[in-house]
A and B are shown apart, each in its own frame.
Chain A
Amino acid sequence: MGARSTVGRILGSGVTYFILATVFLVTVYPLFWMFSGSLKSTGDFYGNVWGPPTTPQFVNYADAWTIGSLGGKIVNSVLITAGTLIVTVPLATLAAYAIARLRFPGRRFLFYLFLLGIAVPQGVTAIPIFTVALNLGLVNTRLGLVLVLAAQALAMEIFLMQSFFRSLPRELEEAAMVDGCTPLGAFMRVIAPLTKPGIATQVVIVGVGAWNEYFLTSLLIRSQDLQTLPVGLVYFSGRYSTNYPDLFAALSIGALPMLILFVLAQRQFISGLTAGAVKA
């Protein structure tokens, strides 16, 4: 199925597999190196660069965990990610529904306003965001970070949910309203149960973004006990840059949550993160 280009035909299966194998190696080996390095003793690390560890030193993980207080950082990351999702998803879904389905003055204006929000990407307004947060006393607070990250995610999520809502047939709400529902009642009763795939997309995009976020977090969070995992990792690698196996263990701990989640929910991750690219 699909296009058979000249390229595909000329190359034939053998060369194709070779290319794919090379790409596979290039993609996977750095991660393999990271995991195997994390389990090596210092001597093993220098002496045995390529292979797996001679005797796995799980103690490195314990060391990295305690020295870097990685447990606390993970907790913070979970709180921030969950908080951002709790704020973004309802707000974006409701607003997208209104813009996509309800007729009201200012609807076009809002459509373009949020669309402009996508053209103003994260980080470009970072400094002023800091001053606004400062004036509101939200610097160095989890709440402040959650609100900032949620605000950044809104434009994209509203855009995605809008096109999702537009694909639903209008008869659904009309039927509900004939039965006496208010517009928002129709939404809750009829539309909301159908939004699960759209919400799944939002959760993946906003969740991964918030979990991996470094820039705005590093600007807004000042004290160590509030640091999220990415910020904590950078801090750790700066302070303990000479203990390589422990550093690699810290990196591995940083990578594992997202990798495990990804392996468990590949299809949701891939379709969520690439949503909007190809109209299904």
Chain B
Amino acid sequence: MNSDRVVSSPVQAAAGGDRSVEQTRVRAARVRGMHPGRPHLSAHGQVVLSAYIAVLPALALFALFVIIPVFEGLWVSLHRWDGLSPMVWTGLDNYGYVLNDGIFWEAMWHTILFAIVTTVAKNALGLGLAVLLNRPLRGRSFFRTVAFMPVTLAFVMIGILWSWVYNPIFGILDGALDAVGLGSLAQGWLSDPNIALFSIMVVDIWKWTGFHMVVYLAGLQQVPTDVLEAASVDGASGRQRFWFVTLPLLRPVIIFNVLLSIVGGFTTTYDLVYVMTGGGPFHSTEVALTWIVSTTMRFLNVGEGSAMSVVLLVIVGAIGLVEMFLMTRGNSEDEVG
């Protein structure tokens, strides 16, 4: 009977359950070739079924190559395995080895350092350049394009190129220093364990600063001028306007950029480091991912490699959760509900 039918379509709900809307629904059902009286999927049931069909392929693929690997990694980390012979249960032993693995923690430290230094540099430079560009300048969009070019190039390609830039014999860096008489500043950019990691950081900064600059520029251009003018009328200096009006309005953009850089520092450094130094010299440029791959592929210690992956996943996951929390906090209106 009509009285106990749940309001089940958005149209009906929007119309407040009105009888005439009900008649429209009946008509629609007839158009679809269904007799409204016979048992059939309600409009809501249709929606649910469609939703499941729509979501299923993505969910299946995601489960297969994202969810299952996480659990597989956890499972393997509790065994000793070389990839060929049967797995041997070892419980939490691998985690014990990982905790004691000096090189792993050195690599983690390098990774963290890499993430922090490059994030600060990329964002400071990006924001600074965006501020400079945020005025009618000739050639601004040309400059934007040029600065963005390295973003589109592969890390391995840039890494190989910069290995040559750093080359002590034909590289342009030492050549440039020589040309201005600062030849004595030339270092073993990639061969000196103390500075190799920083040399690699420079490449990451070179690639990504343009990206952050573009994002900051877009953010700056969305700052409403009337708010700034009002502040100016109230006597705020340029610096005060920047600090108290512009920066707070840029907060979501800053959060996005900073977290993107940090997570990138943890997870995209494999390509660059592998190609430039392979983790050397003497593990001075070893990062978490390169060491995990070495442990697993070269030393065939898949169990311990998996344990390391789990540890890294926990750390990166925590950072990612912070990112999600911070990003969705400002969007409570369009949150799922």
Contact = CB atoms under 8 A, between A and B. Distances in A.
B320 A118 contact: yes
B28 A177 contact: yes
A174 B68 CA distance: 38
A61 interface: no
B180 interface: no
A124 B308 CA distance: 9
A178 B152 contact: no
Chain B: number of interface residues, binned into ranges: 35 or more
Contacts of A132: 64-65, 68-69, 72
B61 A2 contact: no
Interface stretch (B92-100, B113-121, B183-191, B210-218): B210-218
Interface stretch (A52-60, A66-74, A194-202, A270-278): A270-278
Interface in B301-337: 302, 305-306, 309, 312-313, 316-317, 319-321, 323-324, 334, 336-337
A2 B146 contact: no
Nearest to B335: A111
Interface in A17-33: 19-20, 23-24, 26-31, 33
A254 B164 CA distance: 16
B154 A2 contact: no
Interface in A111-135: 111, 113-129, 131-133
Contacts of B263: 121
Interface string A185-219: 00100000000000000000000100111110001
Interface string B130-152: 01111111000001111111111
Nearest to B225: A1
A104 B52 contact: yes
Nearest to A274: B215
Given A30-B161, A127-B305, A182-B46, A174 B10 contact: yes
Contacts of B73: 125, 127-128
B90 interface: no
Contact of B214 (A26, A117, A121, A270): A270
A5 B238 contact: yes
B1 interface: no
**What's the dominant secondary structure at chain A's contact region?**
helix
Given A174-B14, A273-B211, A9 B238 contact: yes
A128 B336 contact: no
A78 interface: no
A80 interface: no
Name the residue in A152, A182, A247 with the highest tally of chain B Cβ atoms < 10 Å from its Cβ. A182
B241 A3 contact: yes
Contact of B62 (A114, A123, A255): A114
Interface of B: 9-11, 14, 24, 27-28, 31-32, 43-44, 46-48, 50-55, 57-59, 61-62, 64-66, 68-70, 72-73, 76, 83, 128-129, 131-137, 143-157, 160-162, 164-165, 170, 172, 175, 206, 210-211, 214-215, 218-223, 225, 228, 237-239, 241-242, 245-246, 253, 256-257, 260, 263, 266-268, 270-271, 275, 289, 292-293, 296, 302, 305-306, 309, 312-313, 316-317, 319-321, 323-324, 334, 336-337
23 contacts: A1-B135, A2-B135, A2-B220, A5-B242, A27-B210, A49-B170, A49-B175, A98-B50, A98-B54, A102-B48, A110-B55, A126-B293, A127-B302, A128-B68, A150-B61, A151-B61, A154-B61, A177-B43, A214-B155, A234-B156, A251-B161, A255-B157, A258-B152
